[in-house]
Structures are given as structure tokens and as C-alpha cells.
Amino acid sequence: MVQTMSDPVRRATRIRRFPWPFTGDRYAYSANVEPAPGLRRTIVGEWGRTILDPDETYVAELAERRDILARDPSRHVELPHMRAASWDVLLWGLRELVGTDPAMTLDRQGDGYVWTNRRLGTCQAFRYGDDASLPMGPLMFLGSQIQEDIVLLDQREDRLWADAGCVTFASNWSMAFTAGMSFMEIHGPVPHDFADGAIPRAERFLMRLGAGQAYRRLNWTTTAGYRLDTALDSYADWGASRVRLADCDDFADVFHMRVEVQHLVRLPESGAILFLIRTYLLPLADILTVPEWRAQFASVLTHLPDDIIQYKGLAVLRPRLLAHLG
Amino acid sequence: MSAPAGDDLVLRVEQVVDVAPSIREFVLRPTEGEGLPSHVPGSHLVVACGDRRNAYSLTGEGHAPEAYRISVLHRPDGQGGSAWLHRVRPGHILRCGRPRDAFAPVATARHHLLIAGGIGITPFLSHLRAARRWGRRVSVLYAVAAGAPVPHHAELAALAGDGLRILRGRAAMQAAMDHALQTQVLGTHLYVCGPDGLMDSALALAQAHGWPEERCHAERFGGVDAAEGAPFTVRLHRTGRDIAVAADVSMLDALAAAGVEWPAMCRRGVCGECRMDAAGTILHRDLVLSPAERAAQSCLMPCVSRAEGVLSLDL
């Protein structure tokens, strides 16, 4: 589903709440983690007050996820030993929603819960740990209530393993392909001498996270069109649009900055690491309305090393981008 | 919403129960609000006992518990923490850390073999509760002194059923362990908690019978906060000012308290943001610096690393 951003009010909101990824005029691949949540001001607005962000796109994005999962069930993967972690993340996520959005409540009596979500019109009673008490698995159910993509990492043998996930808005990767891989295997494609040691350091950091602790980081890349689903699984649907970016006429409207707000949480009961990915898209036309962002983006692009430029798929586009930003 | 991690819990002793001679169970509830953080099986609680901080396994339900339970063995020859707790009565307020997880069951295990001696049974009570909830296969060998009552016997029997074996005396336990460690299904994980002698025997037997190290897990208490350590002094070279870093605060926090602002991000020794040039005997604890940088003793991450004696900064 390709959405348009024609409504000026929505457009202004989107710019104001966009998690702009640059703070200086250089970008280095690093662990860049910080405790979460925490309000972060940008030159035109703010983001990050809460871990989950059920914003004005909430209902539309969840409908899009439901359609993608119906079309391609492989976006949800769960190895059998992740059952406890899946229930753990469901409770964590629903509680987090309750603390974020007054339209949602969770009532408990022992192992019995009643979940009410007035934004979706959902009222669901379930019994903790009883798979038959939900209309779908607990991980899938949480995926139907939060916009964020969900990956669960099991910690064993001094490593992390991506053993479960419900991921419909992946940026150029595939949950089905990644399932069961170790943290190091997943990050194999990251260039620059294995990100100058940032990846192994990040894994050690995650393995030391204490129960309930939450951290976050930003990641950025680019997308052709307002398209959340750029998973490798659907490459046939979007690959060509990426190629057309090089010479399309409406470049500033089609080219989007794609920012992922990633949260890392040690789940309290299973001890699994939760990796949440929330995707925000902003067209170049909107970036051009903020002079500071325009200058920062130009400077970052100018200084990025060639292998990172290649990794982010910007080798062909850089001259065109710089011409717009300059 | 996620509670800020690291904050202490303030708990009221609701009940004190003698579960065996010299072993007292404490039921702890929050002084404010309802419900306590869930915890991973095998987690422990660090409890402030007078001027000591002791770690005790959480023995109750791990899912959204309304109360925490710990069982404390009175050690007359210990350092006073257990004796202090044994004088505590219902109504007393205890300051505790948040549950910490260092002895969790491995989710991929095909079977879990739990070996305990004496008070070492405590972390396995939460293992057994979780095993029952999630349908994990588990068996227990529990060594108890001849003639002594079995702590938590009814609870253990209810949770472990046929999987529970009580062994009386060292020889019986040794034989049972030897047999068990040769007859487990492939993919079994071993967990050991108890007196040092029992733990050493179990692990030596496992090794002798060819158990891979990654499948053997032992609980030995004694972890400390990454930022804690012996007190030292930071000397600001340019102003000649001395700032004391107490045992239980990080150097970064001590500097902030003294009005010295310094950029920091993760506060866990991983991001490298707070890197600081310094001269002195540095005790590195970060995950950022290379071995060569550590050896040079010329910079540190003050969020987790510390120093001996006086550390000089060019500030």
C-alpha cells in the first residue's frame, strides 16, 4: 500500500515528529545506543517520549501488516523454544501500550487477562501461557496491536539468536531467511571492517542488559516511495521502483529518508532480548523545507565512505541527491 | 511503561515462615502500589541486610508476582547478613535491588537436570514453576543431610512429581549423580547449586562423562554492580581540586555530583561516548577500549571503570 502525504496538516505533523537521525555533519556506523525512553528534540519538533508510538498512522499501518501477513505468512517465524518469550513479549507490549495510550486497558485476575483497545475496537480475554485462549499466537497478537516490527533473540552459549519474529516492514532483509541465525551471522553484510568492531561490541552489550532495561538506537536508509514493506520477500514488487529513482521526474516526492527507531529490551520473565523496529518515512520534499536538515544531509552524504554509500544503496543517487540539497 | 531499571525496590516483610531448622522464608510485598516485576527463573534479589548486601534466590512465581519470596539459611559463621535477616519481623521494610538473572534455564534444552544441595535448592523452585508452566522436562537430585528435614519438601514434590529424588548423605548423592550424568537424553542441560564440594563433584563428574561445558551451569553468588568497587580519588589537574569517588557510585556520577559535566550515553561501558583522558592506575571495565589502549593506562570510560588511589584528569 502506497500512502500519499497530500494533507498539509498531516505533513506538518509528520515532519515535526520525525526522528531525524543526524546530530552533526558526519555519520559513523556505531552502536550509538542510549537509554530509552527519552524525549529528543529536533530543530522542528520532538520524538522518543515513549517506547511505543501509536501515532496517527496506527490503524492504517496495522491494516497493512494484516494484509501482508495474509499474503505472506512467512513474515512471522517462531521456533518452538520461543513460546515463553512470545508470551513474555505480549504482556510487555500490552502493558507498554496501556502506559502510552489512554484508549487501551489491561485487566488482570491471576493468569487471566482482559485486553481492551478502543482504537481498534478489540476486546480480548486470554489466559497467560494458554495458546488456545488467543485467536492467534501471542507474538502475532502483539503484532496486531503495535506498529513496530518484533524480533525475539534467545541468549544461550554466550551468543544471541534471532529465533522468533513478526516483521512486515523490513528494510531489505527477510525474517524468514534470518530466523535461527546468530547475531554475528545476521550482521555479516555490514561493511567497514565489520563496522569497526561495533557489531561484536553491540552483542556483548545486549547480553549484559539487565531485566526490564530498555535502550534504543536509530538507523537510517532510503526508500523509493512511501513504502513500509521493502522486505527482500517482496523485492519483485518494489525493486524496480528503486531503479527508477535514478531518472524519475518527481525525485523529491519519491525519494524518502527511512529512519528506524530500534528498541532493545531485556524481557523480564523469559530473559529474551526484544528487538523492536519502528519505521518512519519522510520524502525529500519535506526534508528540503528544513534548512538545517538539508545542510546536514548534504554534509553527511559528502563525507560517507564509499562502502557505506554502497551498503545504503546510494552510489547512483548521491549526485542527484546533492544537487537537490545544495 | 517500563520502570526505570536499577531503581531500588522498597518491600515490606509480610510473613516470616520457618521452613526448616535455620531456614526462614520471607514473603515480601511492595510498600506502594500492587504487583512486582516479573523475573526469569533462577533470578536472585540483592537485599540490604544492615550494612551488607546479600543475594537470595527468588523462590516464588515469576510471572507478574504480587509478592517475592526468599528463603534464608542462618549462617552463624557468616558475615552477619543472614543473622541480621533472621532477626527481621513482619512489618519490617527492606530495600532490595531489582531481580537479577544469572542462572536461567536454557530454552532449547531437551531436558533439564537440576542438582542441588541444602539451601542450594532455592533457585530451582522458580525453575520448576516455569518448567511446569511451559511444559519443560525436568528432574531433580537433591542432597539433604541424613535425618534432617527437607526444606520446601511439599512444594518440591508438588512441582517436580516423579522427577524429584531426595538423596541422604554424600555417598548416595555421589552415586545418584554419577548414574544420572551417564543416562540423560542428548541435549540435556545440567544446573548445579549447593555447597562448593557438591558443585565441584557434579561438574567434575559431568566433565568426566563428556558433557560439553556449554551444557553445564553453576550458580555461585558474588556478582557486583559494574560501577561499584573500592573508593578512589579523582584529581582535577588544572584546578587542583580532589573529588572522592565512593565505593557504590560510578566515577561519572561522582563527577556530576561535584558539578563536572561530562558527555555520556549508554552508561554501560559500550558506546564510548564518555571516553576520558586520565593518568593513574586505571581498572578498566568497559567493552570499548582495545587491549593496547587499556595497557597504555591513559584513558578510561568513567561510566563503569575505576582507579586505584589517585586518578589525575586534565580538567
ipTM of the complex: 0.89
Cβ separation of A269 and B5 shorter than 8 Å? no
Residue span of the structural domain in which A33 resides:
8-75+143-325
Inter-chain residue contact B101 with A271, CB threshold 8 Å:
yes
User: Which pLDDT belongs to residue A32?
Assistant: 78
Predicted confidence band of residue B81 (pLDDT cuts 50, 70, 90): confident
The per-residue pLDDT for B220 is: 65
Q: What is the mean pLDDT of residues A315-322?
A: 93
Beta bridge partners of B140: B114, B164
* CA-closest candidate to residue A277, choices A53, A91, A29: A53
User: Nearest-CA distance from B126 to chain A in Å?
Assistant: 11
H helix runs in chain A, sequence order:
8-16, 58-71, 83-100, 138-143, 175-178, 183-186, 192-196, 198-207, 235-244, 251-254, 284-287, 291-303, 306-311, 318-325
Interface contact B40-A269, CB threshold 8 A: yes
Higher confidence at residue B152 or residue B54?
A: B152
- Residue B266's pLDDT is what? 65
Contact A128, A111 (CB under 8 A): yes
- pLDDT tier at B264 (50, 70, 90 boundaries)? confident
A199 in a domain, yes or no?
Answer: yes
Name, in order, each residue with C-beta under 8 angstroms of B3's C-beta and a sequence gap of 6 or more.
A212, B37
Q: A218 to chain B: which residues are within 8 Å by CB?
A: none
pLDDT exceeds cutoff 90 at B129: yes
> Residue B271 — pLDDT band, cuts 50, 70, 90?
low
Lowest mean pLDDT among B1-10, B30-39, B71-80, B276-285: B1-10
**What is the average pLDDT across B259-268?**
79
How large is the average pLDDT for residues B223-237? 74
**In contact, A229 and A258? CB cutoff 8 Å:** no
- Residue A312's pLDDT is what? 84
Q: Are A48 and A134 in contact (CB under 8 A)?
A: no
Higher pLDDT, B101 or A5: B101
The pLDDT of residue B6:
44
Helix (H) or strand (E) holding A163: strand A159-166
- State residue B4's pLDDT score: 36
For an interface test with A, which of B43, B136, B287, B304 has the most A Cβ atoms less than 10 Å from its Cβ?
B287
Cα separation values, A116 from A126, A149, A158, Å = 11, 21, 39
**Cβ atoms within 10 Å, residue A300:** 17
Of A34, A108, A157, the CB nearest to B265: A34
In this structure, the number of other CB atoms found within 10 A of the CB of residue A284 comes to: 20
Q: What is the reported pLDDT for A33?
A: 86
In a 3-state reduction of DSSP, which class is residue A152? Answer: strand
Catalytic (active site) residue A65: no
Helix (H, G, I), strand (E, B) or coil at A242: helix
Of the partner residues A99, A211, A213, the one whose CB lies closest to the CB of residue B39: A211
Tell me, what's the pLDDT at A41? 94
**Is the confidence at residue A196, as pLDDT, over 70?**
no
- Render pLDDT for A135-161 as a digit per residue (tens, 0 to 9): 999 999 999 999 999 999 999 988 999
- Answer yes or no: are the C-beta atoms of B235 and B315 closer than 8 Å: no
Res. B289: pLDDT tops 80: no
Pairing of strands B111-117, B138-144: parallel
Chain B residues with CB under 8 Å of A91 CB are 38, 64
Active-site annotation holder among A40, A83, A217, A318: A217
What pLDDT shows up at residue A28? Answer: 62
Task: Give CA separation, B138 vs A81, B114, B132, B160, in Å.
Answer: 15, 7, 9, 7
Instruction: Say if residue B111's pLDDT is above 90.
Output: yes
When pLDDT is cut at 50, 70 and 90, the band that residue A195 belongs to is low
**Average pLDDT of the segment spanning B114-140:** 97
Q: How many domains does chain A have?
A: 1
Enumerate the CATH 3.10.20.30 domain ranges in chain B, comma separated: 232-313
C-alpha cell at A29: 556506523
**In this structure, is residue A123 part of a structural domain?**
no
B266–A96 C-beta distance less than 8 A: no
Give chain B positions within 8 Å (CB) of A271.
Answer: 40, 101, 104
How many residues in total does chain B contain?
315
Burial B159-193 (b: 16+ CB within 10 A, else e): bbeebbebbeeeeebbebbeebbeebeeebbbbbb
Task: Place B5 in a pLDDT band, splitting at 50, 70 and 90.
Answer: very low
Distance CA A103, CA A98 (A): 8
Q: Does B6 touch chain A (CB under 8 A)?
A: yes
pLDDT greater than 70 at residue A192: no
- Partner-chain contact B40 A95, CB within 8 Å: no
The verdict on domain B232-313 having CATH code 3.40.50.300 is: no
CATH topology of domain B9-96: Elongation Factor Tu (Ef-tu); domain 3 (2.40.30)
pLDDT of A197 reads 73
Contact (CB, 8 A) for B62 and B100 = no
| Cβ atoms of A157 and A149 closer than 8 Å | no
Q: What is the pLDDT of residues A259-298, one digit of tens each?
A: 999 999 999 999 999 999 999 999 999 999 999 999 999 9
Residue B97 sits at the vertex; the CA angle it makes with B96 and B100, to the nearest 5 degrees, is: 130
Task: List every span in chain B annotated with CATH 3.40.50.80.
Answer: 111-218
Q: Which residues contact A16 (CB under 8 A, 6 or more apart)?
A: A44, A45, A46
Chain segment B236-245, per-residue pLDDT in tens: 999 889 999 9
pLDDT at B54: 81
Please tell me chain A's helix, strand, coil percentages from 3-state DSSP, rounded to the nearest 5.
40, 25, 35
B276-281 long-range contacts (CB < 8 A, ≥24 apart) are B276/B300, B276/B301, B276/B302, B276/B313, B277/B313, B277/B314, B278/B307, B278/B311, B278/B312, B278/B313, B279/B311, B279/B312, B280/B307, B280/B308, B280/B309, B280/B310, B280/B311, B280/B312, B281/B307, B281/B308, B281/B309, B281/B311
Residues A242-248: what's their mean pLDDT? 89
Highest mean pLDDT among A23-27, A86-90, A185-189, B197-201: A86-90
- The phi, psi pair for A16, rounded to 5°, reads -65, -35
Residue type at position B133: R
Q: Does B130 touch chain A (CB under 8 A)?
A: yes
CA A146 to CA A50: how far, in whole Å?
13
Give the angle subtended at the CA of B115 by the CAs of B109 and B118, to the nearest 5°: 145
Looking at residue A188, its pLDDT comes to: 79
B263 confidence band (pLDDT: 50, 70, 90): confident
3-class secondary-structure state, position A284 = helix
Task: Using the predicted structure, report yes or no on whether residue A193 has a pLDDT greater than 80.
Answer: no
Average pLDDT over residues A204-222: 90
Other Cβ atoms closer than 10 A to A156: 18
CATH class belonging to B111-218: alpha beta
Which residue in A has a C-alpha nearest to residue B212's C-alpha?
A157
Closest-CA residue to B257 (of B248, B269, B265): B248
Chain B partners within 8 Å of A193 (Cβ)? none
pLDDT digit string, tens, across residues B45-55: 988 888 777 88
